[in-house]
Amino acid sequence: MAKRSSTFACQACGAVYQRWQGKCDACGEWNSIAEESSAAASAAPVAAGGARLKKGRTFALENLQGEAMDAPRTPSGIAELDRVTGGGFVKGSVILLGGEPGIGKSTLLIQAAAAIARKGARAVYISGEESAGQVRLRAQRLGLQDAPVELAAETSVEDILATLSQGAPPRLVIIDSIQTMWTEAAEAAPGTVTQVRAAAQGLIRFAKGSGAAIILVGHVTKDGQIAGPRVVEHMVDAVMSFEGDAGHHFRILRAVKNRFGATDEIGVFEMGGEGLVEVPNPSALFLGARDAKVSGTAVFAGMEGTRPLLIEIQALVTPSALGTPRRAVVGWDTSRLAMVIAVLEARAGVRLAMHDVYMNVAGGFRIMEPAADLAVAAALVSSMVDIPIPPEMTLFGEVSLSGLVRPVPQAAARLKEAAKLGFSEAMLPDGLQDAAGKTGLTLHPMRQIADLVAEIAGGKGNPKRSARI
């Protein structure tokens, strides 16, 4: 006889409580806790501490010696997608893909399924949000109606697994989305924490047993995090985020977790009339509409995984009419900007305390690495003194609280990309001249942040006076 009990779980983060409360203590969300029923078997023997005992089976243990084999992969045929996954879809792997509504997740996945199906492998697309006719209309718009992709609109996990078990094992299975799936193993409404967890467990077991690669599409919350219990992210092999802005035509696929590849690779796509198109040279895209004659802009030579990217950073510094000056940031960490402003004020005499500061990463890109500190500081100083940075110059370097410009890795790759795009000068941390190699660029080593201020303001006399502040 099964004993029924009720628990209260947060629908945002998965935290479990014994009673209802208005606010989740784990994630801080209000009105996100809902009651869920669970069934616990009481016929099993119980130990003295109350834990249920289950008779297990013995299994063989192995040692660390032996031949290590690379995981077999299935290339998708989309180079940017294969770059992020680490070379293709691993047999038996499960990928969780998140992104805002309308960002292009379904478009990218139907293109990947069509590319694999055209190679003779079995690809299945299961839609829980759209009908089969709606998916066909998207495929026709993308010119993929001739691809032998198997399509269905279904939400029952048991029915999906029974159908997939018929015939040859599929090479790729797409579940769009995991929040719409439901299983009889859990007594809860679709989309709740219990259902999402149970449905994911069933699909993961099928992937490991059949060798099929499964992609689970996940919804995102207001702050961009994948909705549902965090335990699902630990259950899957890879978590990828599809980023972009409705005001820009390109999209970025970023790996947040990947057991079979690097977690700092990105893939860049451009949204067009025929779907998502790969961007082989993202630097040229991000610098396409740059106005080099305006002050407050600097070109940052960054790294995303193994790929160097040149990105324009824009800053605007204006006198503030408010008691508390504004600090608006798009595409970078707000706390990092506050630190750079404090270092400029304390170590270089650039007084920004009574000025509004606006900072933007051009193109809607988001910078994650601290090597952008020097470029951000240069853009701020350039806007403050109204002196443009030379258009042929790129910058990179980390700024410490002492005002020291610290070295960053992969300087040679950054400068090589800059030289390929026509840049002739570079500001970089002192000590990286030898590591930069022979790129043909004129290097300007920076040891202190005050050296940067003096360089931009003309290099005459005291950098505090040169900055006109």
pLDDT of res. 246: 63
Q: What are phi and psi of 17, to 5 degrees?
A: -130, 160
349-388: b or e for each residue (b if 16 or more CB lie within 10 Å)?
bbebeebbbbbbbbbbbebeebbbbbbbbbbbbbbbbebb
CB atoms within 10 A of CB 249: 15
Work out the burial of residue 168: count CB atoms within 10 Å of its CB; fewer than 13 is exposed, 13-18 middle, 19 or more buried.
Answer: exposed
Q: What is the mean pLDDT of residues 409-428?
A: 91
CA–CA distance from 290 to each of 54, 187, 192, 318, 335 (Å)? 66, 56, 46, 21, 26
334, containing H or E segment: helix 334-348
Q: What per-residue confidence (pLDDT) applies to 409?
A: 92
CATH class of 73-280: alpha beta
Label residue 463 by pLDDT band (50, 70, 90). very low
Q: Which residue has tokens 């660390």? A: 64
117 exposed, middle or buried (CB, 10 Å; 0-12, 13-18, 19+)? Answer: buried
Least confident of 40-54, 248-262, 306-320: 40-54
Neighbours of 69 (CB within 10 A): 6
Tell me, what's the pLDDT at 166? Answer: 92
Q: How far apart are the C-alpha atoms of 284 and 418, rounded to whole Å?
A: 11
Q: Which two tokens stand for residue 241?
A: 């985020």
Which has the higher per-residue pLDDT, 36 or 221?
A: 36
pLDDT of residue 415: 92
Residue 111 to residues 121, 127, 265, Cα–Cα distance (Å): 14, 15, 20
Between 87-91, 176-180, 224-228, 303-307, the lowest mean confidence (pLDDT) is in 224-228
Degrees, nearest 5: CA angle 79-84-87: 60
On whether the CB atoms of residues 301 and 308 are closer than 8 A, the answer is yes
pLDDT greater at residue 70 or residue 235: 235
pLDDT confidence bin for 61, thresholds 50/70/90: confident
Whether the per-residue pLDDT at 47 is higher than 60: the answer is no
Pick the CATH number of 285-466 from 3.40.50.300, 3.30.230.10, 3.40.50.720, 3.30.1360.200: 3.30.230.10
Longest dimension (CA), the chain: 87
The model's pLDDT over 121-131, given as tens digits with 9 standing for 90+, comes to: 999 999 998 99
Q: Report the share of the chain in percent with pLDDT over 70.
A: 87
Name 437's Cβ contacts closer than 8 Å, sequence gap at least 6.
412, 415, 416
pLDDT at 193 over 90: no
- Report the range of poorest mean pLDDT among 47-56, 69-78, 177-186, 381-390: 47-56
Distance between CA 444 and CA 395 in Å, rounded?
Answer: 9
pLDDT at 21 over 70: yes
What per-residue string of b and e applies to 51-64 under the rule 16 or more CB within 10 Å gives b? eeeeeeeeeeeeee
| Residue 467 pLDDT exceeds 60 | no
Whether residue 124 contacts residue 173, with contact meaning beta carbons closer than 8 Å, is answered with yes
- Which is nearest to 172 in space by CA: 191, 147, 150? 150
Is the predicted pLDDT of residue 50 greater than 60, yes or no?
no
Query: What is the rounded CA–CA span in Å between residue 355 and residue 146?
Result: 59
Q: Provide the pLDDT for residue 42.
A: 39
Q: Taking the CB of residue 410, how many other CB atoms lie within 10 A of it?
A: 16
Residue 110 confidence (pLDDT) above 90: yes
Q: Kindly indicate the confidence band of residue 384, based on its pLDDT and cuts at 50, 70 and 90.
A: very high
The domains of the chain are located at 2-41, 73-280, 285-466
* For residue 466, pLDDT beyond 80: no
Confidence grade of residue 293 (pLDDT, cut at 50, 70, 90) = confident
Give the tokens for residue 449.
């942040």
Beta carbons of 447 and 423 less than 8 angstroms apart: no
Whether pLDDT at 461 is above 70: no
Question: Please, are residues 134 and 161 in contact by the beta-carbon 8 Å criterion?
Answer: no
Q: Give residue-wise pLDDT tens across range 216-264.
A: 998 776 555 665 556 788 899 999 988 876 667 788 898 989 998 888 7
> In this structure, are strands 327-330 and 355-361 parallel, antiparallel, or unpaired?
parallel
Across the chain, mean pLDDT equals: 85
Least confident of 239-248, 351-360, 389-398, 400-409: 239-248
Q: What pLDDT does 69 receive?
A: 61
- Helix (H, G, I), strand (E, B), or coil: what is residue 316? strand
> Is the confidence at residue 113, as pLDDT, over 70?
yes
| Confidence bin at 1 (pLDDT 50/70/90) | very low
Query: What pLDDT, on a 0 to 100 scale, did the predictor assign at position 71?
Result: 63
- Maximum average pLDDT range among 63-72, 181-190, 324-333: 324-333
pLDDT band at 48 (very low <50, low <70, confident <90, very high): very low
